[in-house]
Amino acid sequence: SDTLFNIAAVHTSLFILFFGLYVIDYKFAIFGYHGYYVVYPAILLFFWLVSMFWPHDVFRLRYRKGIAMSLWRTVKAPFGGSVTFADNITGDVLTSAVKPLQDLVLAFFFFSAPLDIARTKTENHPFLVPLIAFLPYWFRMMQCLNRWWETRETRHLWNFGKYTCGNIMVVVTAIPLSDFPYFSVYTERLIWVCTPFIRVGDSHTSLYYQ
């Protein structure tokens, strides 16, 4: 693989291969009924981990280090610091990858227990999934706030509001507000309905100011 696209193609092909083998084995028991289905994702995960550190003429280690450092700067954005263009892209990628990141919770428990038990363990930790959804928006919020602090440009505040609305959506859908005083089921549903509209409005406003 001599280009980044070829590397991506190899990773995608391996994912399709191992996922297909997993489904076929689980559905049709080509190796009989057993409890070792976790081997398929484990092999795939091992390959990905090795490929992250394997020397390559195109995807050099210093490039990977740059990505890791950008990720680190994004994570520590709540504590201040300059935000580069690469960090901005990293923050956007994290917010776009919220759903796959949430699946990591079930994947983690899946590696330690059968699927049914893994689901139960996930349900026993109800705030893990919302927390994973909350953090990328929080990092991006703080990036926008840092950018505003450096430049005093209003557009960064609008972006801050957009990601704040995203986190409000995470909170109101994760916490049963109707269990709190002065919150009825109807109030909870009203907040659910209104929050996405507020976020869409803020997104359009921030786009206008950019």
Structure tokens, 18: 């191992």
pLDDT band for 143, please (50, 70, 90 cuts).
Answer: very high
Question: Quick one: 32 and 96 in the same domain?
Answer: no
Tell me the percentage of the chain whose pLDDT exceeds 70. 87
Question: If residue 183 lies in a helix (H) or strand (E), which one and from where to where?
Answer: none
pLDDT bracket for residue 88 (50, 70, 90): very high
pLDDT of residue 175: 74
Do 81 and 2 share a structural domain?
no
Is 40 found in the same domain as 72? Answer: no
Q: How many domains does the chain have?
A: 2
| Model pLDDT for residues 11-46, shown as the tens digit of each residue | 899 999 998 998 898 888 888 877 778 888 889 889
pLDDT digits (tens, 9 = 90+) for 74-87: 999 888 888 999 99
For residue 153, pLDDT over 80 is answered with: yes
* 144 & 90 share domain: yes
The pTM score is 0.76
Distance CA 34, CA 37 (A): 7
Q: 86: Cβ–Cβ under 8 A, 6 or more apart, which residues? A: 66, 70
Domain that holds residue 27: 1-59
